[in-house]
C-alpha cells in the first residue's frame, strides 16, 4: 500500500491538482477552470468529485492528506481572503470546504510558502534548514524557512519580499504603493525594464508579443537592451536579497519561476550585485541557486509537500 497526498494549486485562471507519492512522482495530474465557477462551493464540489474519480482509478493506496497552494492563503486559518486574482470575494475557508469531501487533514498556504515546502521535501533544500525561495512569476513571492520551519509570522502572511520597497517613489505597484521589488523582478517588471531600455537606446519596439522568453531569446542573439534588462533585474533583485540576508542570514536563496529560464543572464548579475550590496560579515555565506523542483510539476508538488 502506497502513501499518497493530493496537491492543489489554485490559480486565478486554472486550478491544477496532482496525486503525488513521497518521492515526488506525480501519479496523476489534471486541471479545471477556476474562473468558470462563480460560486466557490460549486468549484470545490466539482474539483473534489474529479479528485475522487481519479483516486478510484488508482491501485492500492492510502491518502495521507491534501495540501493547497492559493494566493493570499493563510496557513493558520486555512482561509483565503480577498485574493485579487480570484473571483470569490471575502474570506473563503477552503480547508473547511474540502473537509466536506475528504476526511484527511487539509492544509493551505500561499504559493510561495508551498514552493518553500516543496523545495524541502522534493527539491534542493532537503539538507538545508535556513533558506529563502523567491518565486519570480507574474508577481514576486517568497517563502522563508527558519531552522526547518516555514516562517508565517504573527499574521500568517510573512514572507512578502516582493512587496518590500526597494526604490522610494519608484514604479507604481498593484498593491497601491511605489517601488516594490515586484515591479522590477516580476515578468511584468522585466518587460517594463526592457521597454525602458529600448527607448533609452532609441530602438523601435518589436512588433511581437513581448514576454520574458522573447527578451531571453534576444539576449541570446546579443541584444544589448535584452542583456541589460536582465542585468538591471539582477541588480534590483540582488539589492533586495542582500537586505534580506542581513535580516535572516539564510544558507541558500533559491530562485524559482519562468524568468529563471534566462539562466546566467539573470543569475550572474543577481549574484554579483547581491555580493556587492552585502554586509561583509555575510560574504560567502549564501548560495544563490535555481530551484531543484522539476518545473513542470512544481506548483502541484509544492502544495503536495504541505500535506506530508
Give residues in contact with a second copy (CB under 8 A).
Answer: 72, 129-130, 144, 146-147, 149, 151-161, 163-165, 167-168, 175-177, 239, 242-244, 246-251, 277, 279-282, 285-286
Residue 88 vs 102, nearer CB to a second copy: 88
Closest distance of CB 227 from a second copy, Å: 22
Q: Are 106 and 66 in contact (CB under 8 A)?
A: yes
Beta pairing partners, 133 = 143, 254
Residue ranges with strand state E in 22-115: 26-33, 61-69, 73-74, 79-81, 91-93, 106-109
Q: What are phi and psi of 300, to 5 degrees?
A: -65, -40
Q: Scan for cell 533583485, then name that residue.
A: 237
Closest distance of CB 267 from a second copy, Å: 20
Closest distance of CB 161 from a second copy, Å: 6
Residue 27 vs 175, nearer CB to a second copy: 175
Residue 7 vs 238, nearer CB to a second copy: 238
Residue 14 vs 285, nearer CB to a second copy: 285
H helix runs in 169-263, sequence order:
182-185, 187-200, 212-220, 224-248
The Cα 67–Cα 77 span in angstroms is 14
Closest distance of CB 94 from a second copy, Å: 18
C-alpha cell at 301: 508538488
Closest distance of CB 74 from a second copy, Å: 10
Closest distance of CB 65 from a second copy, Å: 22
Closest distance of CB 77 from a second copy, Å: 13
Q: Are 304 and 67 in contact (CB under 8 A)?
A: yes
The Cα 139–Cα 162 span in angstroms is 7
Q: Scan for cell 555575510, then name that residue.
A: 282
Beta pairing partners, 287 = 252
Q: Are 219 and 262 in contact (CB under 8 A)?
A: yes
Residue 125 vs 215, nearer CB to a second copy: 125
The Cα 40–Cα 83 span in angstroms is 13
Residue 147 vs 207, nearer CB to a second copy: 147
Residue 77 vs 164, nearer CB to a second copy: 164
Amino acid at each position: 500500500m502506497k502513501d499518497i497526498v493530493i496537491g492543489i494549486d489554485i490559480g486565478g485562471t486554472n486550478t491544477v491538482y496532482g496525486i503525488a507519492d513521497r518521492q515526488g512522482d506525480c501519479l496523476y495530474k489534471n486541471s479545471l477552470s477556476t474562473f468558470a465557477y462563480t460560486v466557490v462551493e460549486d468549484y470545490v464540489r466539482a474539483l473534489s468529485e474529479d479528485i475522487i474519480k481519479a483516486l478510484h482509478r488508482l491501485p492500492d493506496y492510502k491518502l495521507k492528506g491534501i495540501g493547497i497552494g492559493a494566493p493570499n492563503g493563510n496557513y493558520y486559518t486555512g482561509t483565503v481572503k480577498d485574493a485579487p486574482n480570484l473571483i470569490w470575494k471575502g474570506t473563503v475557508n477552503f480547508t473547511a470546504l474540502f473537509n466536506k469531501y475528504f476526511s484527511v487533514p487539509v492544509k493551505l498556504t500561499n504559493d510561495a510558502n508551498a514552493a518553500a515546502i516543496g523545495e524541502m521535501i522534493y527539491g534542493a533544500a532537503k539538507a538545508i534548514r535556513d533558506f529563502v525561495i523567491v518565486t519570480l512569476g507574474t508577481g514576486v513571492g517568497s517563502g522563508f524557512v527558519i531552522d526547518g520551519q516555514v516562517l508565517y509570522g504573527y499574521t500568517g502572511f510573512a514572507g512578502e519580499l516582493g512587496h518590500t520597497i526597494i526604490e522610494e517613489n519608484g514604479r507604481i505597484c498593484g498593491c497601491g504603493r511605489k517601488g516594490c521589488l515586484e515591479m522590477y523582478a516580476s515578468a511584468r517588471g522585466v518587460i517594463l525594464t526592457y521597454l525602458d531600455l529600448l527607448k533609452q537606446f532609441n530602438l523601435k519596439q518589436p512588433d511581437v508579443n513581448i514576454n520574458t522568453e522573447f527578451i531571453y531569446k534576444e539576449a541570446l542573439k546579443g541584444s544589448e537592451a535584452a542583456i541589460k534588462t536582465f542585468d538591471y533585474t539582477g541588480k534590483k533583485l540582488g539589492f533586495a536579497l542582500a537586505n534580506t540576508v542581513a535580516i535572516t542570514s539564510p544558507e541558500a536563496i533559491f530562485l524559482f519561476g519562468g524568468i529563471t529560464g534566462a539562466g546566467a543572464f539573470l543569475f550572474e548579475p543577481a549574484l554579483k550585485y547581491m555580493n556587492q550590496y552585502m554586509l561583509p560579515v555575510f560574504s560567502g555565506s549564501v548560495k544563490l541557486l535555481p530551484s531543484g523542483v522539476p518545473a513542470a510539476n512544481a506548483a502541484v508538488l509544492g502544495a503536495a509537500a504541505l500535506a506530508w
